[in-house]
Each structure stands twice: as structure tokens, then as C-alpha cells.
Amino acid sequence: MHRYSQVTIAIHWLTAVLVIVAWFTAVSGPDARTDPSYVHFTVGLAVLLLVVPRLLARWAAAPRVEDPQRRWLDLAARAGHAVLYLLLVALPLTGWYAASRLGVPVSFLGISLPSLAAPVQGAPGEIADLHETGGTLILWLAGLHALIAIWHQFALKDRTLERMNPLAPSDLTQDG
């Protein structure tokens, strides 16, 4: 049984809060052009900034000890986590692209970022649509992910929640 490092745990929970704030501050339609939410841009780009060290820490970590009794569950968890990571990278990038297409300047903590695409007059296009759909999908997936983690903890009693708990007893092996 392993647990995550305190840095990974901190990034996990901070990312969860940032994603929720990004969802609540998102605007669409004409408002996205005339009254864009800079809080949305900032928290969304912070998600992108945080996912990089998190993935590096994950790859540098010792391999996870798998439970041979529940190999399919382990594979399902890996697939689910991969989709979440994909969205954590793709959402900020597609959002940045959507803002560029809408002609809205993007900055992060006062630093102006370059446009990812030339501005257009009408709708910002399919990648912007994907951003909107993905932005809602990540919340549903994260909710499902949380329910599965709770099921692991209380039904399978395999201490899954403790892996992500910064205050859990430290008798677990640390590996990521």
C-alpha cells in the first residue's frame, strides 16, 4: 500500500478547488467576448501550471504496488486517472485557444500571454465548443471519481482515501 507525497497531495486538493472555481466563473456566449472572466483564465492557467510538476513527480516515483486480486479495478483506476489528467492539460489549452479566437487578451498574474489563434468575428469554433463540454465533463468525472474513492475506502476497506489525506497516519509507503 502506498501513499502520495505531501506535495502531490497539496497539488491534488488545490487543483480540485481551482477546477471548481473555474467552473463557477466560466462565461460563454457574447459575454465571453465583451465581459470575459479573468478569474476564470487565471485559475484555469494555474491548473495547467500545477499539472506539470505533478506529472513529473508521478513519473519519477517508484512503481505502484498492484493488488493482483483486483487487477481490473487497478486498470480502471489508471484509465480514469488518465482521462482526468488529459482534461487537466486540455482544458486550459483549449480555453486559451477559445479566448484567442474571441479576440480576448489572456494574461496570467499580470504576464501577457501570446494568442494561440487569430481572432474571428463569429463563433469561436469547435475547439471552443469542446472546451465548454470538457469543462462540464471534468466536474462529473471528478464527482464519480470521488464516489469511487469513498466506495474503496468504506466498502473495500483498502484505505484509498488515506493515500490522499495529508493528515493520515504515515504507516503507508510513499511513492508519488
Site residues (vs ligand HEM, CB under 6 A): 12, 15-16, 19, 22-23, 26, 28-29, 32, 40-41, 44-45, 47, 58, 77, 81, 84-85, 88, 91-92, 95-96, 98-99, 102, 106, 124, 128, 131-132, 135-136, 138, 142, 145-146, 149-150, 160-161, 163-164
Q: Whose Cβ is closer to ligand HEM: residue 10's or residue 85's? A: 85
Least gap, CB of 72 to ligand HEM (angstroms): 14
Q: Work out the burial of residue 77: count CB atoms within 10 Å of its CB; fewer than 13 is exposed, 13-18 middle, 19 or more buried.
A: middle
**Least separation, in Å, of the C-beta of 83 and ligand HEM?**
9
Query: How far is the C-alpha of 48 from the C-alpha of 115, rounded, in Å?
Result: 16
Pick the closer one to ligand HEM by CB: 117 or 164. 164
Cβ density class 108-136: b for 16+ within 10 Å, e for less: beeeeeebbbeeeeeebeebbebbbebbe
User: Whole-number minimum distance, CB 7 to ligand HEM, in Å?
Assistant: 12
Q: Nearest approach, Cβ of 53 to ligand HEM (angstroms)?
A: 12
User: How many Å separate Cα 149 from the centre of its chain?
Assistant: 16
C-alpha to C-alpha distance for 93 and 44, rounded to whole angstroms: 9
Q: How far is the CB of 65 from ligand HEM (least distance, A)?
A: 11
Nearest to 134 by CA among 85, 77, 76, 101: 85
